[in-house]
Amino acid sequence: MNKYLAQKIAEETNYLFQAEAIEKMLEKPKHDELGDIAFPCFQLAKFLRKAPPIIAAELAEQLINPAFEKINVVGGYINFFLNKSQVMNEIIPVILKQQQNYGQKEQSFENVVIDFSSPNIAKPFSMGHLRSTVIGNALANISEKNGYDAVRVNHLGDWGTQFGKLIVAYRLWGEKGAIEKAPIKELLKLYGKFHEEAENNDALNNDARAAFKALENGDLEENSLWKWFKDASLDEFQSIYELLNIHFDTFEGEAFYNDKMADIITQLKEKELLKLSDGANVVELDNMPPCLITKQDGASLYATRDLAAAFYRQKTYSPKKVLYVVGNEQSLHFQQLFHVLKKMDANWAEHLSHVGFGMILKDGKKMSTRKGHVILLKDVLEEAINTAKGNITEKNPTLLNKDDVAKKVGVGAVIFNDLKNYRSNDIEFSLEQMLHFKGETGPYVQYTFARICSMLEKASLQYHDDVIKITLTDNAWPTVVLLANYPNIISEAFEQMDPSLIAKFALQLAKAFNKFYATTKILAPDDSINSRLALCKSTSIVLQDCLNLLGIEAPEKM
Ligand code: ARG
Q: What is the CATH number of the domain that holds 45?
A: 3.30.1360.70
Q: Does the pLDDT value for residue 374 go beyond 70?
A: no
Atom of ligand 1 nearest to the CA of 157: 1
Ligand 1 mean position to 325 CA, how many Å?
Answer: 9
Pocket of ligand 1 (CB under 6 A): 115, 118, 120, 155, 157, 306, 309, 324, 326
Residue 269 within any structural domain of the chain: no
Residue 50 within any structural domain of the chain: yes
Q: Does the pLDDT value for residue 203 go beyond 70?
A: yes
- Strand boundaries in 232-307, DSSP class E: 274-277, 280-285, 288-294
Whole-angstrom distance, CA of residue 460 vs CA of residue 533: 10
Q: Does the pLDDT value for residue 407 go beyond 60?
A: yes
* CB 301, CB 250: distance < 8 Å: no
- Per the model's pLDDT, the better-predicted residue between 293 and 125 turns out to be 293
Mean pLDDT of the region 431-459: 94
Whole-angstrom distance, CA of residue 537 vs CA of residue 380: 34
- 1 band by pLDDT with thresholds 50, 70 and 90: confident
Atom of ligand 1 nearest to the CA of 128: 4
Between the alpha carbon of residue 552 and those of residues 71, 99, 117, 201, the distances in Å are 41, 18, 17, 50
- 166 band by pLDDT with thresholds 50, 70 and 90: very high
Ligand 1 mean position to 129 CA, how many Å?
Answer: 9
Mean pLDDT of the region 448-457: 96
Ligand 1 mean position to 326 CA, how many Å?
Answer: 7
Long-range contacts of 38-45 (CB under 8 A, 24+ apart): 38/77, 38/78, 38/79, 38/80, 39/5, 39/9, 39/77, 39/78, 39/80, 40/76, 40/77, 41/76, 41/77, 41/78, 42/76, 43/17, 44/13, 44/16, 44/17, 45/76
Q: First-to-last CA distance in the chain?
A: 36
Whole-angstrom distance, CA of residue 469 vs CA of residue 153: 47
Mean pLDDT of the region 302-311: 97
Residue 368: what pLDDT?
Answer: 60
- 365 band by pLDDT with thresholds 50, 70 and 90: confident
- Per the model's pLDDT, the better-predicted residue between 160 and 283 turns out to be 283
- Strand boundaries in 195-262, DSSP class E: none
pLDDT in tens, 489-528: 999 999 999 999 999 999 999 999 999 999 999 999 888 9
Q: Does the pLDDT value for residue 466 go beyond 80?
A: no
Residue 439 within any structural domain of the chain: yes
pLDDT in tens, 2-28: 888 899 899 999 999 999 999 999 999
Q: 425, 392, 422: which is closest to 406 by C-alpha?
A: 392
- 128 band by pLDDT with thresholds 50, 70 and 90: confident
Q: Quick count: other Cβ atoms within 10 Å of Cβ 51? A: 14
- Of all protein residues, the one whose alpha carbon is nearest to atom 6 of ligand 1 is 118
Entry pTM = 0.93
Q: Does the pLDDT value for residue 36 go beyond 60?
A: yes
Whole-angstrom distance, CA of residue 229 vs CA of residue 167: 9
Report DSSP state, residue 255: G
Q: Does the pLDDT value for residue 163 go beyond 60?
A: yes
Ligand 1 mean position to 205 CA, how many Å?
Answer: 24
Report DSSP state, residue 349: G
Q: 329, 328, 318: which is closest to 355 by C-alpha?
A: 328
- Strand boundaries in 172-232, DSSP class E: none
Residue 380: what pLDDT?
Answer: 87
* Residue from 114, 115, 118 whose mutation best tests the ligand 1 pocket (most atoms within 8 A of CB): 118
- 308 band by pLDDT with thresholds 50, 70 and 90: very high
Residue 127 within any structural domain of the chain: no
* Residue from 123, 133, 155, 230 whose mutation best tests the ligand 1 pocket (most atoms within 8 A of CB): 155
Residue 242 within any structural domain of the chain: no
Give me the amino acid identity at 501.
L
Q: Does the pLDDT value for residue 532 go beyond 90?
A: yes
pLDDT in tens, 59-73: 999 999 888 999 999
pLDDT in tens, 476-487: 999 999 999 999
Ligand 1 mean position to 83 CA, how many Å?
Answer: 51
Residue 270 within any structural domain of the chain: no
Q: Mean pLDDT of all residues in the chain? A: 93
Ligand 1 mean position to 437 CA, how many Å?
Answer: 35
Ligand 1 mean position to 56 CA, how many Å?
Answer: 54
Residue 136: what pLDDT?
Answer: 98
- Of all protein residues, the one whose alpha carbon is nearest to atom 11 of ligand 1 is 306
Residue 506 within any structural domain of the chain: yes
Atom of ligand 1 nearest to the CA of 327: 12
Q: Does the pLDDT value for residue 254 go beyond 90?
A: yes
Ligand 1 mean position to 283 CA, how many Å?
Answer: 21
Domain boundary among 58, 82, 106: 82
Q: Quick count: other Cβ atoms within 10 Å of Cβ 394? A: 9
Domain boundary among 36, 62, 82: 82
Atom of ligand 1 nearest to the CA of 334: 11
Crossing angle, helix 261-270 and helix 302-317, to 10 degrees? 100
Q: Does the pLDDT value for residue 462 go beyond 70?
A: no
Atom of ligand 1 nearest to the CA of 123: 4
Q: What percent of the chain has pLDDT over 90?
A: 85
Q: Which residues contact 457 (CB under 8 A, 6 or more apart)?
A: none
Q: Strand, coil or helix: what is 355?
A: strand
Residue 468: what pLDDT?
Answer: 74
In terms of residue numbers, what domain contains 479?
A: 377-549
Domain boundary among 33, 51, 82: 82
Give me the amino acid identity at 428.
E
Whole-angstrom distance, CA of residue 522 vs CA of residue 520: 6
Q: Specify the range with the lowest mean pLDDT, choosing from 133-137, 322-326, 350-354, 453-457.
A: 453-457
Between the alpha carbon of residue 485 and those of residues 182, 190, 492, 505, 532, the distances in Å are 49, 54, 11, 10, 19
Ligand 1 mean position to 308 CA, how many Å?
Answer: 14
Q: Does the pLDDT value for residue 467 go beyond 80?
A: no
Q: Does the pLDDT value for residue 371 go beyond 50?
A: no
- 464 band by pLDDT with thresholds 50, 70 and 90: low
Residue 197 within any structural domain of the chain: no
Whole-angstrom distance, CA of residue 479 vs CA of residue 524: 19
Q: 550, 531, 556: which is closest to 91 by C-alpha?
A: 531
Residue 78: what pLDDT?
Answer: 96
* CB 540, CB 514: distance < 8 Å: no
From the centroid of its chain, how far is CA 86? 34
* CATH assignment at residue 392: 1.10.730.10
Whole-angstrom distance, CA of residue 207 vs CA of residue 214: 10
- The neighbouring-strand residues paired with 20 are none
- Number of domains the chain is built from: 2
Q: Is residue 279 exposed (0-12), middle (13-18) or buried (19+ Cβ within 10 Å)? A: exposed
Residue 461: what pLDDT?
Answer: 65
Residue 158: what pLDDT?
Answer: 95
Mean pLDDT of the region 255-284: 95
Whole-angstrom distance, CA of residue 300 vs CA of residue 256: 13
Q: Is residue 500 exposed (0-12), middle (13-18) or buried (19+ Cβ within 10 Å)? A: buried
Q: What percent of the chain has pLDDT over 70?
A: 97
- Per the model's pLDDT, the better-predicted residue between 219 and 67 turns out to be 219
Give me the amino acid identity at 174.
G
Residue 373: what pLDDT?
Answer: 54
- Of all protein residues, the one whose alpha carbon is nearest to atom 9 of ligand 1 is 155
From the centroid of its chain, how far is CA 43? 36
